[in-house]
Amino acid sequence: MRRSNAPIFWSLFGAGGVLSALIGPMLVFITGIAVPLGLGLPRDLMSYPRMLMFAQHWAGKMFLFAVIALFLWHGMHRIFHNLHDFGVRTGTGAKLVCYGLALLGTAVSAYALLALGF
Amino acid sequence: MNETRKVIAIEVLRYRPELDDKPFFQTYQVPFAEEMSVLQGLLYIKDELDGTLSFRWSCRMAICGSCGAMIDGVPKLGCHTFLRDYYPNKVRVEPLAHFPIERDLVVGADDFIGKLERIKPYIVPKEPRTLAEGEYLQTPAQLERILQFSSCINCMLCYAACPQYGLDPAFIGPGVLALLHRYNADSRDAARAERMELVNAEEGVWSCTAVGYCSEVCPKGVDPANAVNQNKTTSAVDYFVNLVRPKGAGR
Amino acid sequence: MSARRPYMRPMDGWWRRNPFFIRYMIREATAVLVVAYVTVLLFGVIRLAQGESAYDAWLASLRSPWSLAFHIVLLANFVYHTWSWFQIMPKTMPMIVIRGKRLQPAVITAAGLLAAAVASVGLLLLTLGIGS
């Protein structure tokens, strides 16, 4: 029987799943609730100068890239398989669209993070 | 003075290929007693009410794996499920899901049996052994690694539970993969590499999406979900090692 | 001539027929909002690269009531993802025997949830630290 390439996507799915399980809720709280509302965290925590400094630092870049890329690969892998559960025929086309979107997001984030400079 | 006998309605999915276009439900009124199993209910129907009802059964004690059915939509062994847990409501009995119906509650098990045969379900010795060398020795710890996975009674409830098998019958499936794992994890066995070919295929562990219902319905605590999903890691490691290794080197 | 005519029942609506399957589908569906959230973040990074006014517009949109309501929904989604992830994690692990006793699935789940709690607090402290 032919060896499946699923391990590539499954490993990315797993890494993204662990990362999002560990820090997803707090990330959402910080970026989407606490900072915009000034709830326990200063409202200017995500101001342009601060975020620019963060994104220009190599550690900040790595963090942002890891979160964006891994969350995307996790999500799109699960969505791809869930389509199959709904009875959608998940052939090469569906695979290209789902993983293609993850690849696109990964590439765009890499480009944007590099464009921000150091 | 006769006390009024309690009666439970058992609704069975019938299908006679020579008579019926498609399956239909037929309800029987069966005398109810506290200790009666669903299988005993079916046996009463066959003996007293309708001799045409067809179903598999044998041991009546949850070890032969013959009497599996969908009882109120859940895969269960008929001998291991009791009418008192449904009384006074009716009990709906249907053949195991995801299998072709041959007649009434009898499903075609050919696919499952064929898969069992494909996985080398036997110890392949590491090196040739003579009888004079005596038996294999195994520690309790080594036995512990395989004992639960060896408890499978081939009842196919896990296949009826597995939606991935239902959606794509090419999937080797929970029970057979649990048995495969039982042999790979056996300290006496040497055929891991050959079995990994099945594990690594799309039809192997990679059709599983960790629904977990298979382990939920298993009457023997085999936990096939665990057998399949821990082998995803094994398979992934095997995949990446194989990428790095030069082509043609060993297996 | 064989009288056999095996009948295959259709799979349509399979997951609606059992609460176990409905919970499974909900677990899998958390992926949609994970992608939604990370798309918001990705746009933030893009806007950041596009300059101050573009970024400030993105930041301002996070303060709208729609965005806040959406992020509350996202938060619930991620919390459920964390919970369900560590619920299923024991199934993916081989048997672990410690001092003669098997490590129970509930312990693995608890350890995972604890790790998430620690990571969350760590992230918060790190954020406060970087912010100052």
**C-alpha span between B209 and B162 (Å, rounded):** 10
ipTM of the complex: 0.95
Determine the Cα–Cα distance for residues B86 and B88; give it in Å rounded to an integer. Answer: 6
Q: Do residues B33 and B84 both lie within one domain?
A: yes
Q: What is the mean pLDDT of chain C?
A: 95
Site from C1, C2, C8, C9 to mutate, B interface, most B CB atoms within 10 angstroms:
C9
Torsion of CA B151, B152, B157, B163, to 10 degrees: 110
Give residue-wise pLDDT tens across range C13-69: 999 999 999 999 999 999 999 999 999 999 999 999 999 999 999 999 999 999 999
Per the CB < 8 Å rule, is B239 touching A3? yes
B177 and B237: one domain?
yes
In this complex, which of B163, B203, B235 lies closest to A7 when CB atoms are compared? B235
The per-residue pLDDT for B5 is 85
Contact A26 C119 (CB under 8 A): yes
Same domain as B142, residue B28: no
- Looking at the fold, whether B140 and B191 belong to one and the same domain comes out as yes
What residue ranges do the domains of chain A occupy? 7-17+44-115
Residue B61's contacts (CB-CB under 8 Å, 6 or more residues apart) are: B79
Q: Which spans in B54-203 are helix H?
A: 110-118, 140-147, 157-161, 163-167, 174-184, 192-200
Last residue of a domain, one of B85, B107, B129: B107
Q: Do B54 and B33 share a structural domain?
A: yes
SS3 B89: coil
Q: Among the three residues B79, B107, B135, which one is the final residue of a domain in this structure? A: B107
| Among the listed residues B85, B79, B53, the one whose alpha carbon sits nearest the alpha carbon of residue B65 | B79
Last residue of a domain, one of B107, B136, B169: B107
Whether C2 maps to a domain, the answer reads: no
Asked if B83 and B36 touch (Cβ cutoff 8 Å), the reply is: yes
Verify whether the Cβ–Cβ distance B240 to A7 is below 8 Å.
Answer: yes
Structural domains of chain B, count: 2
Using the structure block, give the residue that is written with the tokens 């997803």.
A24
Residue B48 lies in a domain: yes
CATH code for the domain in which residue B47 is found:
3.10.20.30
Residues of chain B with pLDDT under 70: 1-3, 246-251
| Residue A1 pLDDT | 86
pTM (predicted TM-score) = 0.94
Sign for the CA dihedral angle at C14, C19, C22, C28 comes to: negative
Q: Give residues 47 to 66 of A whose Cβ lies within 8 Å of C.
A: 47-48, 50-52, 54-55, 64
Class of domain A7-17+44-115: mainly alpha
| Radius of gyration for chain B, computed over Cα atoms and rounded to the nearest angstrom | 22
pLDDT value, residue A102 = 98
> What do you get for the CA distance between the two ends of chain B, in Å?
78
Asked if A112 and C78 come within 8 Å (Cβ–Cβ), the reply is no
User: What pLDDT is attached to residue A40?
Assistant: 87
In a domain, B2, yes or no: no
Range of the domain at B184: 110-244
Closest Cα to residue B94, out of A52, C17, A42, A106? C17
My answer on whether B115 and B211 are in the same domain is: yes
Per-residue pLDDT 10s for chain A (118 aa) are 899 999 999 999 999 999 999 999 999 999 999 999 999 888 899 999 999 999 999 999 999 999 999 999 999 999 999 999 999 999 999 999 999 999 999 999 999 999 998 8
Size of interface A-C (CB pairs under 8 A): 154
> What integer is the mean pLDDT of C122-129?
93
In a domain, C5, yes or no: no
Residue pLDDT, tens place only, C76-113: 999 999 999 999 999 999 999 988 889 999 999 999 99
In this structure, are B70 and B146 located in the same domain?
A: no
- Look at residue B29 in the predicted model and tell me its pLDDT: 98
Verify that B172 and B62 share a domain, yes or no: no
3-state secondary structure (DSSP) of residue B34 = coil
CATH assignment at residue C60: 1.20.1300.10
- Does the residue C1 lie in any domain? no
